[in-house]
Structure 1
Amino acid sequence: MTQLLLYVQDPNALKNWSQATNLTKKILYTLDVNTQELDKENDLLLIELPQTEKEQEKIELILRQGFKMILFSNIPSPKEGVQWFQKGIKGYLNTFAQTERISQAVETVLAGNIWLGQSVMQSLIQTVSKSRTVTDDSWKERLSEREIETVELVLQGKSNQEIAELLHISERTVKAHMHNILEKLEAKDRLNLVIKIQNWSN
Protein backbone atom coordinates (compact mmCIF):
# COMPACT_ATOMS: atom_id res chain seq x y z
CA MET A 1 0.00 0.00 0.00
CA THR A 2 1.34 3.44 -0.99
CA GLN A 3 2.26 5.69 1.90
CA LEU A 4 3.36 9.32 1.87
CA LEU A 5 6.02 10.37 4.36
CA LEU A 6 5.87 14.11 5.04
CA TYR A 7 8.72 16.23 6.38
CA VAL A 8 7.75 19.91 6.52
CA GLN A 9 8.27 22.73 9.02
CA ASP A 10 5.50 25.14 8.04
CA PRO A 11 2.05 24.26 9.48
CA ASN A 12 0.19 25.84 6.51
CA ALA A 13 2.27 23.85 4.04
CA LEU A 14 1.65 20.68 6.08
CA LYS A 15 -2.10 21.33 5.90
CA ASN A 16 -1.86 21.79 2.11
CA TRP A 17 0.23 18.67 1.60
CA SER A 18 -2.12 16.61 3.78
CA GLN A 19 -5.19 17.72 1.82
CA ALA A 20 -3.59 17.10 -1.58
CA THR A 21 -4.29 13.38 -1.64
CA ASN A 22 -6.27 10.68 0.16
CA LEU A 23 -3.26 8.37 0.43
CA THR A 24 -2.07 7.19 3.85
CA LYS A 25 0.29 9.73 5.40
CA LYS A 26 2.90 9.67 8.11
CA ILE A 27 4.62 12.79 9.45
CA LEU A 28 8.39 12.68 9.85
CA TYR A 29 9.74 14.90 12.63
CA THR A 30 13.37 14.33 11.69
CA LEU A 31 15.41 13.33 8.64
CA ASP A 32 17.22 10.72 10.73
CA VAL A 33 14.97 8.02 9.33
CA ASN A 34 15.59 4.33 9.69
CA THR A 35 15.45 3.39 6.03
CA GLN A 36 15.20 -0.29 6.99
CA GLU A 37 11.65 0.41 8.12
CA LEU A 38 10.67 2.07 4.84
CA ASP A 39 9.30 0.42 1.73
CA LYS A 40 11.16 1.49 -1.44
CA GLU A 41 8.37 0.23 -3.69
CA ASN A 42 5.44 1.92 -1.99
CA ASP A 43 6.72 4.83 0.10
CA LEU A 44 6.99 8.31 -1.38
CA LEU A 45 8.79 10.99 0.61
CA LEU A 46 7.59 14.59 0.44
CA ILE A 47 10.43 16.63 1.91
CA GLU A 48 10.78 20.37 2.50
CA LEU A 49 14.36 21.28 1.63
CA PRO A 50 16.16 22.17 4.89
CA GLN A 51 18.50 25.16 5.04
CA THR A 52 21.50 23.49 6.66
CA GLU A 53 24.08 21.51 4.73
CA LYS A 54 24.04 18.79 7.38
CA GLU A 55 20.30 18.21 6.93
CA GLN A 56 20.66 18.29 3.14
CA GLU A 57 23.27 15.54 3.38
CA LYS A 58 20.65 13.37 5.12
CA ILE A 59 18.37 13.83 2.11
CA GLU A 60 21.19 12.81 -0.23
CA LEU A 61 21.74 9.68 1.85
CA ILE A 62 18.05 8.71 1.52
CA LEU A 63 18.20 9.34 -2.25
CA ARG A 64 21.35 7.23 -2.66
CA GLN A 65 19.43 4.30 -1.18
CA GLY A 66 16.93 4.55 -4.02
CA PHE A 67 13.87 6.05 -2.35
CA LYS A 68 11.32 8.06 -4.32
CA MET A 69 11.22 11.69 -3.25
CA ILE A 70 9.47 14.93 -4.16
CA LEU A 71 11.48 17.88 -2.91
CA PHE A 72 9.79 21.15 -1.93
CA SER A 73 11.68 24.44 -1.85
CA ASN A 74 10.64 27.74 -0.25
CA ILE A 75 12.39 29.64 -3.05
CA PRO A 76 12.56 27.22 -5.99
CA SER A 77 15.01 27.97 -8.79
CA PRO A 78 15.91 26.11 -11.99
CA LYS A 79 19.53 25.76 -10.83
CA GLU A 80 18.54 24.21 -7.49
CA GLY A 81 16.00 21.94 -9.19
CA VAL A 82 18.57 20.67 -11.70
CA GLN A 83 21.14 20.02 -8.95
CA TRP A 84 18.67 17.98 -6.89
CA PHE A 85 17.26 16.16 -9.89
CA GLN A 86 20.80 15.01 -10.69
CA LYS A 87 20.99 13.66 -7.12
CA GLY A 88 17.88 11.56 -7.70
CA ILE A 89 14.69 13.43 -6.77
CA LYS A 90 11.57 12.56 -8.77
CA GLY A 91 9.74 15.86 -8.36
CA TYR A 92 10.43 19.48 -7.44
CA LEU A 93 7.84 22.00 -6.29
CA ASN A 94 7.30 25.18 -4.33
CA THR A 95 6.68 24.39 -0.63
CA PHE A 96 3.48 26.43 -0.82
CA ALA A 97 2.16 24.96 -4.09
CA GLN A 98 -1.60 24.54 -4.44
CA THR A 99 -3.10 21.22 -3.40
CA GLU A 100 -4.10 20.35 -7.02
CA ARG A 101 -0.51 20.79 -8.17
CA ILE A 102 0.83 18.65 -5.31
CA SER A 103 -1.78 16.00 -6.10
CA GLN A 104 -0.72 15.97 -9.80
CA ALA A 105 2.94 15.72 -8.81
CA VAL A 106 2.29 12.78 -6.47
CA GLU A 107 0.25 10.93 -9.14
CA THR A 108 2.92 11.59 -11.79
CA VAL A 109 5.78 10.32 -9.63
CA LEU A 110 3.84 7.26 -8.45
CA ALA A 111 3.17 6.45 -12.13
CA GLY A 112 6.95 6.25 -12.64
CA ASN A 113 7.49 9.67 -14.22
CA ILE A 114 9.20 12.85 -13.05
CA TRP A 115 7.56 16.13 -12.06
CA LEU A 116 9.50 19.31 -12.65
CA GLY A 117 8.32 22.84 -13.24
CA GLN A 118 8.66 24.14 -16.78
CA SER A 119 11.66 26.39 -16.00
CA VAL A 120 13.52 23.53 -14.30
CA MET A 121 12.69 21.18 -17.18
CA GLN A 122 14.04 23.73 -19.69
CA SER A 123 17.25 24.22 -17.68
CA LEU A 124 17.71 20.49 -17.42
CA ILE A 125 17.18 19.99 -21.16
CA GLN A 126 19.69 22.76 -21.91
CA THR A 127 22.21 21.16 -19.53
CA VAL A 128 21.75 17.75 -21.15
CA SER A 129 21.82 19.21 -24.69
CA LYS A 130 25.09 21.05 -24.06
CA SER A 131 26.75 17.94 -22.67
CA ARG A 132 26.78 16.15 -26.03
CA THR A 133 25.78 16.56 -29.62
CA VAL A 134 23.44 14.32 -31.55
CA THR A 135 25.44 12.05 -33.84
CA ASP A 136 22.72 9.83 -35.32
CA ASP A 137 19.70 11.63 -36.76
CA SER A 138 17.88 8.57 -38.11
CA TRP A 139 15.11 9.33 -35.55
CA LYS A 140 13.94 11.96 -38.05
CA GLU A 141 12.74 9.18 -40.39
CA ARG A 142 9.87 8.48 -37.99
CA LEU A 143 8.60 12.07 -37.86
CA SER A 144 6.93 14.61 -40.15
CA GLU A 145 8.79 17.77 -41.14
CA ARG A 146 6.84 19.90 -38.62
CA GLU A 147 7.53 17.38 -35.85
CA ILE A 148 11.28 17.46 -36.65
CA GLU A 149 11.25 21.28 -36.41
CA THR A 150 9.47 20.97 -33.05
CA VAL A 151 12.04 18.47 -31.72
CA GLU A 152 14.94 20.67 -32.81
CA LEU A 153 13.49 23.53 -30.76
CA VAL A 154 12.87 21.21 -27.79
CA LEU A 155 16.57 20.28 -27.97
CA GLN A 156 17.35 23.98 -27.55
CA GLY A 157 15.29 24.01 -24.36
CA LYS A 158 12.37 26.00 -25.81
CA SER A 159 8.96 25.91 -24.11
CA ASN A 160 5.71 25.10 -25.97
CA GLN A 161 4.85 28.80 -26.03
CA GLU A 162 8.24 29.73 -27.53
CA ILE A 163 7.96 26.94 -30.11
CA ALA A 164 4.47 28.17 -31.08
CA GLU A 165 5.79 31.70 -31.62
CA LEU A 166 8.84 30.56 -33.61
CA LEU A 167 6.85 28.22 -35.86
CA HIS A 168 3.85 30.60 -36.12
CA ILE A 169 1.41 27.97 -34.89
CA SER A 170 -0.87 27.74 -31.85
CA GLU A 171 0.32 26.30 -28.54
CA ARG A 172 -2.41 23.68 -28.92
CA THR A 173 -0.83 22.52 -32.20
CA VAL A 174 2.59 22.32 -30.48
CA LYS A 175 1.04 20.11 -27.78
CA ALA A 176 -0.46 17.87 -30.48
CA HIS A 177 2.96 17.62 -32.18
CA MET A 178 4.60 16.80 -28.84
CA HIS A 179 2.06 14.08 -28.14
CA ASN A 180 2.75 12.48 -31.54
CA ILE A 181 6.53 12.84 -31.17
CA LEU A 182 6.58 11.18 -27.74
CA GLU A 183 4.42 8.36 -29.07
CA LYS A 184 6.45 7.79 -32.26
CA LEU A 185 9.82 7.89 -30.47
CA GLU A 186 8.48 5.99 -27.43
CA ALA A 187 9.56 8.66 -24.95
CA LYS A 188 7.88 9.26 -21.58
CA ASP A 189 8.37 13.01 -21.42
CA ARG A 190 10.38 15.92 -22.83
CA LEU A 191 13.53 15.15 -20.86
CA ASN A 192 13.39 11.46 -21.74
CA LEU A 193 12.96 12.51 -25.40
CA VAL A 194 16.12 14.67 -25.33
CA ILE A 195 18.19 11.94 -23.67
CA LYS A 196 16.83 9.35 -26.11
CA ILE A 197 17.68 11.43 -29.18
CA GLN A 198 21.19 12.13 -27.90
CA ASN A 199 21.83 8.43 -27.43
CA TRP A 200 20.01 7.40 -30.58
CA SER A 201 21.26 4.44 -32.52
CA ASN A 202 19.08 2.85 -35.16
Structure 2
Amino acid sequence: MTTNTTHQLTLLSDVSMQSKLFKDSLEKGIQLDVNIVSVSELAQENASQPDLGDFVLIDYHYLDDEKFEMYNQAKSSLSNNIREIVINCPKDVASSHLFKWRNLVGVFYVDDDLSLLLKGMQKIMQDEMWLSRKVAQDYIEHFRCANTVTTSQVYANLTKREKEIIRLLGHGASNLQIADELFVSENTVKTHLHNIFKKINAKNRLQALLWANNNIALEERV
Protein backbone atom coordinates (compact mmCIF):
# COMPACT_ATOMS: atom_id res chain seq x y z
CA MET A 1 0.00 0.00 0.00
CA THR A 2 1.34 3.46 -0.87
CA THR A 3 1.21 6.29 1.62
CA ASN A 4 0.36 9.91 1.02
CA THR A 5 3.65 11.29 -0.32
CA THR A 6 2.77 14.81 0.76
CA HIS A 7 3.63 13.87 4.36
CA GLN A 8 7.02 14.79 5.77
CA LEU A 9 8.55 12.37 8.26
CA THR A 10 11.50 13.09 10.56
CA LEU A 11 13.46 10.58 12.63
CA LEU A 12 14.74 12.42 15.68
CA SER A 13 18.09 10.75 16.28
CA ASP A 14 21.83 11.16 16.08
CA VAL A 15 23.17 10.01 12.72
CA SER A 16 24.57 6.49 13.09
CA MET A 17 24.74 3.25 11.17
CA GLN A 18 21.73 2.00 13.11
CA SER A 19 19.63 5.09 12.41
CA LYS A 20 20.57 5.01 8.71
CA LEU A 21 19.57 1.34 8.43
CA PHE A 22 16.28 2.10 10.17
CA LYS A 23 15.68 5.07 7.86
CA ASP A 24 16.32 2.87 4.78
CA SER A 25 13.94 0.15 6.01
CA LEU A 26 11.26 2.69 6.79
CA GLU A 27 11.56 4.47 3.45
CA LYS A 28 11.34 1.17 1.59
CA GLY A 29 8.39 -0.03 3.66
CA ILE A 30 6.20 3.07 3.53
CA GLN A 31 7.57 4.66 0.34
CA LEU A 32 8.16 8.00 1.99
CA ASP A 33 11.33 10.01 2.47
CA VAL A 34 12.61 10.10 6.04
CA ASN A 35 14.91 12.84 7.34
CA ILE A 36 17.27 12.21 10.26
CA VAL A 37 17.55 15.23 12.55
CA SER A 38 19.41 15.38 15.85
CA VAL A 39 18.40 17.49 18.83
CA SER A 40 21.70 19.35 18.58
CA GLU A 41 20.71 20.50 15.09
CA LEU A 42 17.41 21.81 16.43
CA ALA A 43 19.23 23.73 19.15
CA GLN A 44 21.66 25.53 16.86
CA GLU A 45 21.48 29.30 17.09
CA ASN A 46 22.00 31.71 14.22
CA ALA A 47 21.31 28.94 11.75
CA SER A 48 18.29 27.85 9.82
CA GLN A 49 16.62 25.10 11.81
CA PRO A 50 15.61 21.92 9.99
CA ASP A 51 11.91 21.45 9.35
CA LEU A 52 10.46 18.63 11.45
CA GLY A 53 7.67 18.04 8.95
CA ASP A 54 4.28 16.55 9.80
CA PHE A 55 5.39 13.52 11.80
CA VAL A 56 8.31 13.00 14.17
CA LEU A 57 9.59 9.56 15.13
CA ILE A 58 11.15 9.64 18.59
CA ASP A 59 13.17 6.87 20.23
CA TYR A 60 11.84 6.57 23.79
CA HIS A 61 15.36 6.47 25.23
CA TYR A 62 16.84 9.23 23.03
CA LEU A 63 15.29 12.25 24.74
CA ASP A 64 16.49 12.89 28.28
CA ASP A 65 15.00 15.87 30.13
CA GLU A 66 17.43 18.37 28.60
CA LYS A 67 16.94 17.09 25.05
CA PHE A 68 13.17 16.99 25.53
CA GLU A 69 13.13 20.67 26.53
CA MET A 70 15.24 21.55 23.48
CA TYR A 71 12.91 19.55 21.25
CA ASN A 72 9.84 21.23 22.74
CA GLN A 73 11.29 24.69 22.11
CA ALA A 74 12.06 23.81 18.51
CA LYS A 75 8.65 22.24 17.99
CA SER A 76 6.81 25.29 19.28
CA SER A 77 8.78 27.59 16.99
CA LEU A 78 8.47 25.48 13.86
CA SER A 79 4.95 24.10 13.86
CA ASN A 80 2.06 23.48 16.20
CA ASN A 81 0.71 20.53 14.21
CA ILE A 82 3.57 18.05 14.42
CA ARG A 83 2.32 14.59 15.29
CA GLU A 84 4.54 12.43 17.44
CA ILE A 85 5.34 8.72 17.18
CA VAL A 86 7.31 6.98 19.93
CA ILE A 87 9.40 3.91 19.08
CA ASN A 88 11.40 1.45 21.23
CA CYS A 89 9.01 2.05 24.08
CA PRO A 90 9.38 -0.36 27.06
CA LYS A 91 6.48 -2.80 27.08
CA ASP A 92 5.69 -2.17 30.74
CA VAL A 93 5.93 1.62 30.61
CA ALA A 94 3.25 3.46 32.56
CA SER A 95 0.87 5.42 30.33
CA SER A 96 1.67 8.55 32.34
CA HIS A 97 5.24 8.46 31.01
CA LEU A 98 3.85 9.04 27.53
CA PHE A 99 1.73 12.05 28.43
CA LYS A 100 4.59 14.52 27.85
CA TRP A 101 4.01 14.05 24.12
CA ARG A 102 0.91 16.13 23.58
CA ASN A 103 0.38 15.18 19.92
CA LEU A 104 0.94 11.44 20.30
CA VAL A 105 -0.47 9.36 17.44
CA GLY A 106 1.56 6.16 17.67
CA VAL A 107 3.52 3.99 20.11
CA PHE A 108 5.72 1.07 19.09
CA TYR A 109 7.36 -1.18 21.65
CA VAL A 110 10.85 -2.67 21.85
CA ASP A 111 9.60 -6.14 20.95
CA ASP A 112 7.54 -5.00 17.93
CA ASP A 113 9.04 -6.36 14.71
CA LEU A 114 9.59 -4.33 11.55
CA SER A 115 6.49 -5.66 9.79
CA LEU A 116 4.26 -4.53 12.65
CA LEU A 117 5.94 -1.12 12.72
CA LEU A 118 5.45 -0.68 8.98
CA LYS A 119 1.80 -1.73 9.28
CA GLY A 120 1.27 0.82 12.05
CA MET A 121 3.10 3.54 10.13
CA GLN A 122 0.87 2.94 7.12
CA LYS A 123 -2.17 3.51 9.34
CA ILE A 124 -0.67 6.64 10.89
CA MET A 125 0.16 8.09 7.46
CA GLN A 126 -3.54 7.64 6.65
CA ASP A 127 -4.42 9.85 9.63
CA GLU A 128 -5.26 6.99 11.98
CA MET A 129 -3.72 6.36 15.40
CA TRP A 130 -1.61 3.39 16.49
CA LEU A 131 -2.07 3.17 20.26
CA SER A 132 -3.00 0.25 22.45
CA ARG A 133 -6.53 0.50 23.81
CA LYS A 134 -5.21 1.09 27.33
CA VAL A 135 -2.78 3.84 26.28
CA ALA A 136 -5.45 5.53 24.17
CA GLN A 137 -7.98 5.49 27.02
CA ASP A 138 -5.45 6.68 29.60
CA TYR A 139 -4.17 9.39 27.26
CA ILE A 140 -7.62 10.80 26.52
CA GLU A 141 -8.66 10.64 30.17
CA HIS A 142 -5.49 12.41 31.30
CA PHE A 143 -5.99 15.43 29.06
CA ARG A 144 -9.73 15.50 29.68
CA CYS A 145 -9.05 15.76 33.42
CA ALA A 146 -6.03 18.01 33.20
CA ASN A 147 -7.52 20.41 30.64
CA THR A 148 -4.18 22.14 30.64
CA VAL A 149 -0.55 21.93 29.62
CA THR A 150 2.45 21.52 31.86
CA THR A 151 4.35 24.74 32.42
CA SER A 152 7.76 24.48 30.81
CA GLN A 153 11.02 25.31 32.54
CA VAL A 154 11.67 28.03 29.98
CA TYR A 155 8.57 29.89 31.15
CA ALA A 156 9.62 29.44 34.78
CA ASN A 157 12.94 31.10 33.95
CA LEU A 158 11.36 34.25 32.52
CA THR A 159 11.34 37.40 34.63
CA LYS A 160 8.15 38.41 36.43
CA ARG A 161 7.45 41.15 33.87
CA GLU A 162 8.15 38.82 30.94
CA LYS A 163 5.70 36.29 32.40
CA GLU A 164 3.02 38.97 32.67
CA ILE A 165 3.55 39.99 29.06
CA ILE A 166 3.61 36.48 27.60
CA ARG A 167 0.44 35.61 29.52
CA LEU A 168 -1.34 38.64 28.08
CA LEU A 169 0.02 37.79 24.65
CA GLY A 170 -1.42 34.30 25.09
CA HIS A 171 -4.83 35.90 25.60
CA GLY A 172 -4.43 37.68 22.26
CA ALA A 173 -3.70 41.16 23.64
CA SER A 174 -2.07 43.73 21.36
CA ASN A 175 1.09 45.61 22.35
CA LEU A 176 -1.02 48.67 23.17
CA GLN A 177 -3.42 46.63 25.31
CA ILE A 178 -0.49 45.03 27.15
CA ALA A 179 1.02 48.48 27.74
CA ASP A 180 -2.27 49.82 29.13
CA GLU A 181 -2.74 46.77 31.35
CA LEU A 182 0.76 47.02 32.84
CA PHE A 183 1.01 50.84 32.89
CA VAL A 184 4.14 50.90 30.73
CA SER A 185 4.92 52.37 27.31
CA GLU A 186 4.35 50.46 24.10
CA ASN A 187 8.09 50.66 23.38
CA THR A 188 8.79 48.98 26.71
CA VAL A 189 6.43 46.17 25.73
CA LYS A 190 8.22 45.79 22.40
CA THR A 191 11.58 45.56 24.15
CA HIS A 192 10.30 42.88 26.53
CA LEU A 193 8.75 40.94 23.64
CA HIS A 194 12.05 41.03 21.77
CA ASN A 195 13.78 39.49 24.79
CA ILE A 196 11.01 36.95 25.27
CA PHE A 197 11.14 35.87 21.62
CA LYS A 198 14.86 35.17 21.98
CA LYS A 199 14.34 33.11 25.15
CA ILE A 200 11.50 30.99 23.77
CA ASN A 201 13.01 30.74 20.29
CA ALA A 202 10.04 32.40 18.58
CA LYS A 203 10.49 34.21 15.29
CA ASN A 204 7.26 36.20 15.39
CA ARG A 205 4.18 37.06 17.42
CA LEU A 206 2.14 34.08 16.18
CA GLN A 207 4.85 31.61 17.17
CA ALA A 208 5.05 33.25 20.60
CA LEU A 209 1.27 32.98 21.03
CA LEU A 210 1.36 29.28 20.07
CA TRP A 211 4.27 28.76 22.44
CA ALA A 212 2.33 30.39 25.28
CA ASN A 213 -0.67 28.13 24.71
CA ASN A 214 1.54 25.03 24.72
CA ASN A 215 3.95 25.90 27.53
CA ILE A 216 1.96 27.74 30.20
CA ALA A 217 -0.40 25.81 32.45
CA LEU A 218 -4.01 27.00 32.40
CA GLU A 219 -3.98 28.03 36.05
CA GLU A 220 -1.00 30.32 35.41
CA ARG A 221 -2.57 32.06 32.40
CA VAL A 222 -5.27 33.85 34.40
* TM-score interval, smaller chain: 0.3 to 0.5
| TM-score, normalised relative to structure 1 | 0.48
With the length of structure 2 as denominator, give the TM-score of the two structures: 0.44
